[in-house]
Amino acid sequence: MYARFNDIINALKGLGKVYTNHELVSNILRCLPVSLEPKVTEIEEAKDLSTLTLEALLGSLMTHDLRMSDQARNEPKKKKIALKASTDGESDEDKDEMALLTKETRRILLEK
């Protein structure tokens, strides 16, 4: 993203349009995905955007990305459940299986 952004800014400079550092930082923060909204808010509140450099912003975003990927890697995998569907009428045996399945599902969900 940063490389593409830099290419666009350099092309605009070649055409005579120059942006301040504050405008560049604000544009990047505004274009980030919604999933990074808490990080954007943190940066806006904790740092002076008029003096924040693009490199410092990029470093902060990359650090956040690395932390989030480490967290995702270290989280335990969640168990997934698949239910078997039948089209014919229910017999007593089917009802017993359904009761057992319901009981096991509750047990698994309560373990979380």
CA–CA separation, 29 and 33 (whole Å) = 9
State the virtual CA torsion across 65, 69, 74, 77 in degrees, nearest 10: 130
* 22-78 pLDDT tens trace: 898 888 888 888 888 888 888 888 888 888 888 888 888 889 888 888 888 887 777
- CA torsion sign, 45 to 48 to 52 to 56? negative
pTM of model > 0.85: no
How many Å separate Cα 35 from the centre of its chain?
4
Q: According to the model, what pLDDT value does residue 15 have? A: 92
